[in-house]
């Protein structure tokens, strides 16, 4: 009698295991690869973030690519340069950096996302290279280039120079 109960329990576990594994198709991981022809941009992605709705944003060599799970769109970025860095703030604002430009996305009256450049907030117009990193913090947003770091706190833009001497880097205000 005891042996019958053990055998029955093993059969039930085996049936459950077989039925579960058939749902995931023998343990195969589902991965879908999206080719450039599908999303309309180049295949090089520099950064990825996701908003509170689950929409994905890709810093791409053709600009900023948005994917809502069904539809792809490319958001124009001033200068049509590759977007090199992206991050999302706790308040939901998406910030990004490209060659010689940085800023954030803002919805227009129709609900379309538009790029807003922060270059106009600089005390003096200057040229700078690629913004390789964008970091959102509770205090503001850092945009990092090879020679400068820009800090935006929703009111003012501060610039810090990065000085290099061998392997040592210092930041000056």
pLDDT tens digit string along 123-140?
A: 776 778 899 999 999 999
C-alpha–C-alpha distance, residues 60 and 98, integer Å: 10
Q: In what order do the strands lie in the sheet with 63-67?
A: 45-50, 56-60, 63-67, 72-75
**What's the CATH number for 36-172?**
2.130.10.10
When pLDDT is averaged across residues 16-39 and rounded to a whole number, the result is 63
Over the stretch 74-117, which tens digit does the pLDDT of each residue have?
Answer: 888 876 678 999 999 999 999 999 998 999 999 989 988 999 99
Domain regions of the chain by residue span: 36-172
The confidence band for 22, taking pLDDT boundaries of 50, 70 and 90, is very low
């Amino acid at each position: 009698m005891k042996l019958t109960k053990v055998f029955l329990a093993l059969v039930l576990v085996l049936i459950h295991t077989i039925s579960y594994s058939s749902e995931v198709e023998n343990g195969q991981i589902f991965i879908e690869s999206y080719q450039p022809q599908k999303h309309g941009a180049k295949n090089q992605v520099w950064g990825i973030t996701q908003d509170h709705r689950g929409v994905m944003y890709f810093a791409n060599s053709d600009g900023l690519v948005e994917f809502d799970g069904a539809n792809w769109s490319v958001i124009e970025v001033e200068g049509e340069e590759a977007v090199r860095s992206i991050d999302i703030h706790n308040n939901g604002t998406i910030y990004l950096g490209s060659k010689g430009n940085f800023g954030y996305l803002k919805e227009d009256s129709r609900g379309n996302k538009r790029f807003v450049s922060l270059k106009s907030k600089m005390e003096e117009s200057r040229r700078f290279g690629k913004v390789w990193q964008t970091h959102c913090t509770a205090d503001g947003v850092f945009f990092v280039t090879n020679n400068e770091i820009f800090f935006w706190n929703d009111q003012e833009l501060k610039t810090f120079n990065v000085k290099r001497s061998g392997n040592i880097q210092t930041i000056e205000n």
